[in-house]
Amino acid sequence: MDDINTVAVDLHEKRYSDFDLLRIAKAVSQEYDGLVTAYLVNVHIHACSAVGVVFSHICPGPYQRFADGRLIRTSDIQSVTKEGRFWVINTVNSKYVIATFRRDVGRRSLREFVRIAGDTYLPTPDRFQ
């Protein structure tokens, strides 16, 4: 009896709006200090990480986990800076440029994170409650 062990993985994708594409084009054309890992749209900060839709990731992975349009949750944020017109998030090994924020909660979540974290590193808590 030949059993094939397979796992079906459903990776969620989002479409870019015209506004997202315009902001991505502006973000890509700007110069940054160091190598940019990816550009993110519809970003909000959740549990010391950025959550958003990825564009132009330098290493999409063997299964295209980080391909354009895929949802991504970054590792813990080490620092947040503003370079030119865009916010830049640095994690342990990556640098993400925020092209757009999620409507209503995105920019507010970044301000709240910066207010709480300040210049210190906040690791993701082991549990939320």
Question: What pLDDT, in 10s, does the model give residues 52-94?
Answer: 999 999 998 888 889 999 999 999 999 999 999 999 999 999 9
pTM, to two decimals: 0.84
d(CA 110, CA 87): 10
Query: CB within 8 A of 58, min separation 6: which ones?
Result: 35, 36, 37, 38
Which of the pair, 81 or 120, is modelled with greater confidence?
81
Using alpha carbons, select from 95, 87, 81 the residue that is nearest to residue 36: 95
